[in-house]
Amino acid sequence: MSFAAGVIAAGEGSRLAASHPGTVKPLVPVAGRPLSHWVVGTLKAAGARGLTVLTNSRGGAVPPSLTAAFPGLSFDFISQDTASSYESFRLVSRRLAEREDAFLISTVDALVPPADVARFWTECRQARADAGLALTAHVDDEKPLWADVDAAGLVTALGDDARARKLVTCGLYYMTRAAAERLPEPSAHRRLRDFWRSLVGEGARVLGPALSKTLDVDRPEDVRAAEAYLNADARTYMKEIHAQRSGA
Protein backbone atom coordinates (compact mmCIF):
# COMPACT_ATOMS: atom_id res chain seq x y z
CA MET A 1 0.00 0.00 0.00
CA SER A 2 1.31 3.41 -0.96
CA PHE A 3 -0.21 6.82 -1.47
CA ALA A 4 0.64 10.44 -2.17
CA ALA A 5 0.22 13.00 0.58
CA GLY A 6 0.43 16.69 1.31
CA VAL A 7 1.42 18.71 4.36
CA ILE A 8 0.07 22.19 5.05
CA ALA A 9 2.86 24.08 6.82
CA ALA A 10 1.95 27.65 5.87
CA GLY A 11 0.29 28.92 9.06
CA GLU A 12 1.59 31.77 11.18
CA GLY A 13 2.15 29.69 14.31
CA SER A 14 1.52 32.83 16.36
CA ARG A 15 0.72 30.95 19.58
CA LEU A 16 4.15 29.29 19.55
CA ALA A 17 6.06 32.48 18.69
CA ALA A 18 6.50 33.60 22.29
CA SER A 19 7.97 30.29 23.47
CA HIS A 20 10.01 29.71 20.29
CA PRO A 21 11.03 33.15 18.99
CA GLY A 22 12.59 33.14 15.55
CA THR A 23 11.55 29.55 14.82
CA VAL A 24 8.83 28.87 12.27
CA LYS A 25 6.19 26.41 13.43
CA PRO A 26 7.26 23.47 11.19
CA LEU A 27 10.71 23.57 12.81
CA VAL A 28 9.63 23.93 16.45
CA PRO A 29 11.39 21.09 18.30
CA VAL A 30 9.23 18.38 19.84
CA ALA A 31 10.95 15.53 21.69
CA GLY A 32 14.23 16.28 19.91
CA ARG A 33 12.89 16.57 16.36
CA PRO A 34 11.22 19.39 14.40
CA LEU A 35 7.44 19.15 14.38
CA SER A 36 7.36 18.78 10.59
CA HIS A 37 9.75 15.81 10.82
CA TRP A 38 7.28 13.98 13.04
CA VAL A 39 4.44 14.57 10.59
CA VAL A 40 6.46 13.63 7.50
CA GLY A 41 7.91 10.61 9.30
CA THR A 42 4.41 9.50 10.22
CA LEU A 43 3.18 9.75 6.64
CA LYS A 44 6.22 7.90 5.33
CA ALA A 45 5.80 5.11 7.89
CA ALA A 46 2.13 4.82 6.89
CA GLY A 47 3.02 4.38 3.21
CA ALA A 48 3.47 7.81 1.62
CA ARG A 49 5.69 7.59 -1.45
CA GLY A 50 5.86 11.34 -2.08
CA LEU A 51 4.88 14.56 -0.37
CA THR A 52 3.69 17.98 -1.47
CA VAL A 53 4.58 20.49 1.25
CA LEU A 54 3.22 24.03 1.40
CA THR A 55 5.20 26.65 3.35
CA ASN A 56 4.84 30.40 3.55
CA SER A 57 7.47 32.99 2.59
CA ARG A 58 9.06 32.72 6.05
CA GLY A 59 9.51 28.95 5.79
CA GLY A 60 12.60 28.89 3.59
CA ALA A 61 14.49 26.67 6.04
CA VAL A 62 11.83 23.94 5.96
CA PRO A 63 12.56 22.33 2.54
CA PRO A 64 16.31 21.76 3.14
CA SER A 65 15.56 20.47 6.63
CA LEU A 66 13.10 17.88 5.31
CA THR A 67 15.12 16.77 2.29
CA ALA A 68 18.16 16.23 4.52
CA ALA A 69 16.16 14.22 7.05
CA PHE A 70 14.25 12.14 4.48
CA PRO A 71 16.50 11.56 1.45
CA GLY A 72 14.41 8.61 0.29
CA LEU A 73 11.23 10.64 -0.14
CA SER A 74 10.17 12.58 -3.22
CA PHE A 75 9.22 16.15 -2.26
CA ASP A 76 7.27 18.80 -4.13
CA PHE A 77 7.61 22.11 -2.26
CA ILE A 78 5.30 25.09 -2.70
CA SER A 79 6.08 28.48 -1.15
CA GLN A 80 3.11 30.83 -1.03
CA ASP A 81 1.45 33.15 1.47
CA THR A 82 -2.22 32.23 1.60
CA ALA A 83 -5.11 34.21 3.02
CA SER A 84 -6.82 31.35 4.85
CA SER A 85 -6.56 27.73 5.94
CA TYR A 86 -9.05 26.86 3.23
CA GLU A 87 -6.92 28.50 0.53
CA SER A 88 -3.91 26.49 1.73
CA PHE A 89 -5.90 23.26 1.64
CA ARG A 90 -7.25 24.06 -1.82
CA LEU A 91 -3.78 24.83 -3.17
CA VAL A 92 -2.29 21.54 -1.95
CA SER A 93 -5.36 19.54 -3.04
CA ARG A 94 -5.30 20.96 -6.56
CA ARG A 95 -1.57 20.31 -6.86
CA LEU A 96 -1.92 16.67 -5.82
CA ALA A 97 -5.01 16.14 -8.00
CA GLU A 98 -2.94 16.97 -11.08
CA ARG A 99 -1.33 13.54 -10.81
CA GLU A 100 -3.26 11.47 -8.24
CA ASP A 101 -6.83 10.16 -8.14
CA ALA A 102 -6.80 10.19 -4.32
CA PHE A 103 -4.46 11.40 -1.58
CA LEU A 104 -4.07 12.38 2.07
CA ILE A 105 -3.40 15.85 3.48
CA SER A 106 -2.16 16.58 7.00
CA THR A 107 -1.68 19.81 8.86
CA VAL A 108 1.85 20.30 10.17
CA ASP A 109 0.68 20.22 13.79
CA ALA A 110 -1.25 16.91 13.72
CA LEU A 111 0.43 14.02 15.52
CA VAL A 112 -1.31 10.81 14.46
CA PRO A 113 0.13 7.29 14.95
CA PRO A 114 1.30 5.80 11.60
CA ALA A 115 -0.93 2.75 11.97
CA ASP A 116 -3.95 5.03 12.27
CA VAL A 117 -2.92 7.00 9.18
CA ALA A 118 -2.64 3.76 7.19
CA ARG A 119 -6.03 2.56 8.45
CA PHE A 120 -7.62 5.91 7.61
CA TRP A 121 -6.36 5.67 4.03
CA THR A 122 -7.51 2.07 3.63
CA GLU A 123 -10.99 2.66 5.06
CA CYS A 124 -11.60 5.73 2.89
CA ARG A 125 -10.52 3.85 -0.24
CA GLN A 126 -12.60 0.79 0.57
CA ALA A 127 -15.67 2.91 1.30
CA ARG A 128 -15.30 4.74 -2.03
CA ALA A 129 -15.74 7.98 -0.14
CA ASP A 130 -15.72 11.34 -1.89
CA ALA A 131 -13.60 12.67 0.95
CA GLY A 132 -12.64 11.74 4.51
CA LEU A 133 -12.14 13.37 7.89
CA ALA A 134 -10.01 11.61 10.50
CA LEU A 135 -11.75 11.84 13.87
CA THR A 136 -10.71 11.23 17.46
CA ALA A 137 -12.39 11.07 20.86
CA HIS A 138 -9.34 12.75 22.42
CA VAL A 139 -10.22 16.45 22.62
CA ASP A 140 -7.24 18.76 23.24
CA ASP A 141 -8.15 21.72 21.01
CA GLU A 142 -9.56 24.89 22.55
CA LYS A 143 -11.88 25.24 19.54
CA PRO A 144 -12.67 21.65 18.48
CA LEU A 145 -14.65 20.88 15.34
CA TRP A 146 -17.21 18.36 16.54
CA ALA A 147 -18.43 15.67 14.16
CA ASP A 148 -21.38 13.28 14.16
CA VAL A 149 -21.28 10.04 12.15
CA ASP A 150 -23.95 7.53 11.20
CA ALA A 151 -23.88 3.74 11.47
CA ALA A 152 -22.00 3.50 8.17
CA GLY A 153 -19.27 5.82 9.44
CA LEU A 154 -20.29 8.74 7.22
CA VAL A 155 -20.14 12.26 8.66
CA THR A 156 -23.65 13.66 9.08
CA ALA A 157 -22.96 16.95 10.86
CA LEU A 158 -20.06 19.21 11.81
CA GLY A 159 -19.50 22.08 14.22
CA ASP A 160 -22.64 23.74 15.58
CA ASP A 161 -24.77 21.22 13.68
CA ALA A 162 -23.28 18.27 15.58
CA ARG A 163 -25.39 16.90 18.41
CA ALA A 164 -23.61 13.82 19.82
CA ARG A 165 -20.31 15.69 20.27
CA LYS A 166 -18.21 12.61 20.98
CA LEU A 167 -15.70 12.98 18.15
CA VAL A 168 -13.62 15.85 16.77
CA THR A 169 -11.50 16.34 13.66
CA CYS A 170 -7.74 16.00 14.06
CA GLY A 171 -6.04 17.59 11.04
CA LEU A 172 -5.84 14.59 8.69
CA TYR A 173 -7.91 14.53 5.48
CA TYR A 174 -8.65 12.26 2.53
CA MET A 175 -9.49 13.75 -0.86
CA THR A 176 -10.29 12.39 -4.30
CA ARG A 177 -9.41 14.11 -7.54
CA ALA A 178 -13.11 14.59 -8.28
CA ALA A 179 -13.67 16.37 -4.97
CA ALA A 180 -10.53 18.49 -5.42
CA GLU A 181 -11.61 19.61 -8.87
CA ARG A 182 -14.92 20.83 -7.42
CA LEU A 183 -13.30 22.95 -4.71
CA PRO A 184 -14.74 26.49 -4.89
CA GLU A 185 -12.56 29.58 -5.28
CA PRO A 186 -10.38 30.64 -2.30
CA SER A 187 -12.77 33.48 -1.44
CA ALA A 188 -15.65 31.01 -0.91
CA HIS A 189 -14.57 30.03 2.60
CA ARG A 190 -12.73 31.95 5.30
CA ARG A 191 -11.74 28.81 7.20
CA LEU A 192 -11.11 25.20 6.26
CA ARG A 193 -13.79 24.03 8.68
CA ASP A 194 -16.33 26.13 6.79
CA PHE A 195 -15.56 24.17 3.63
CA TRP A 196 -16.02 20.83 5.36
CA ARG A 197 -19.33 21.92 6.91
CA SER A 198 -20.49 22.97 3.45
CA LEU A 199 -19.38 19.68 1.86
CA VAL A 200 -21.19 17.58 4.47
CA GLY A 201 -24.25 19.83 4.19
CA GLU A 202 -24.36 19.20 0.45
CA GLY A 203 -24.68 15.46 1.09
CA ALA A 204 -21.22 14.36 -0.06
CA ARG A 205 -19.99 10.92 1.09
CA VAL A 206 -17.51 12.08 3.72
CA LEU A 207 -16.18 9.16 5.75
CA GLY A 208 -15.27 9.81 9.38
CA PRO A 209 -13.11 6.96 10.75
CA ALA A 210 -12.44 7.25 14.48
CA LEU A 211 -8.73 7.01 15.25
CA SER A 212 -6.94 6.52 18.56
CA LYS A 213 -5.38 9.33 20.58
CA THR A 214 -4.08 12.15 18.41
CA LEU A 215 -2.56 15.49 19.36
CA ASP A 216 -2.71 19.00 17.92
CA VAL A 217 0.41 21.12 18.60
CA ASP A 218 -0.65 24.78 18.59
CA ARG A 219 0.41 26.20 21.96
CA PRO A 220 3.47 25.94 24.22
CA GLU A 221 1.55 23.62 26.53
CA ASP A 222 0.78 21.40 23.53
CA VAL A 223 4.51 20.92 22.94
CA ARG A 224 4.92 19.65 26.50
CA ALA A 225 1.92 17.34 26.15
CA ALA A 226 3.23 16.02 22.82
CA GLU A 227 6.65 15.30 24.30
CA ALA A 228 5.08 13.39 27.18
CA TYR A 229 2.96 11.44 24.70
CA LEU A 230 5.81 10.64 22.34
CA ASN A 231 8.20 9.69 25.13
CA ALA A 232 5.83 7.62 27.26
CA ASP A 233 2.42 6.88 25.76
CA ALA A 234 3.33 6.02 22.19
CA ARG A 235 6.38 3.77 22.13
CA THR A 236 4.95 1.91 19.12
CA TYR A 237 4.50 5.22 17.34
CA MET A 238 8.13 6.18 17.99
CA LYS A 239 9.40 2.73 16.99
CA GLU A 240 7.64 2.96 13.62
CA ILE A 241 8.91 6.47 12.98
CA HIS A 242 12.49 5.69 13.92
CA ALA A 243 12.46 2.51 11.87
CA GLN A 244 11.46 4.51 8.82
CA ARG A 245 14.08 7.16 9.56
CA SER A 246 16.81 4.57 9.84
CA GLY A 247 15.77 3.04 6.54
CA ALA A 248 15.54 6.35 4.69
How is 10-26 classified by DSSP, letter by letter? -S--HHHHTTSTT--GG
10-residue mean pLDDT series, the chain (248 residues): 94 72 89 94 95 96 97 96 96 98 97 95 97 92 90 96 93 97 96 96 96 88 86 58 51
Alpha carbons 226 and 156: distance in angstroms, whole number: 30
pTM for the model stands at: 0.92
Look at residue 57 and give its three-state secondary structure.
Answer: coil
Tell me what pLDDT residue 220 has: 86
Write down the pLDDT at residue 21.
76
Q: Which domains does the chain have, with CATH numbers?
A: 3-240 (3.90.550.10)
Q: How far apart are CA 23 and CA 149, in angstroms?
A: 38
Query: CB of 155 within 8 A of CB of 202?
Result: no
Determine the pLDDT at residue 233: 53
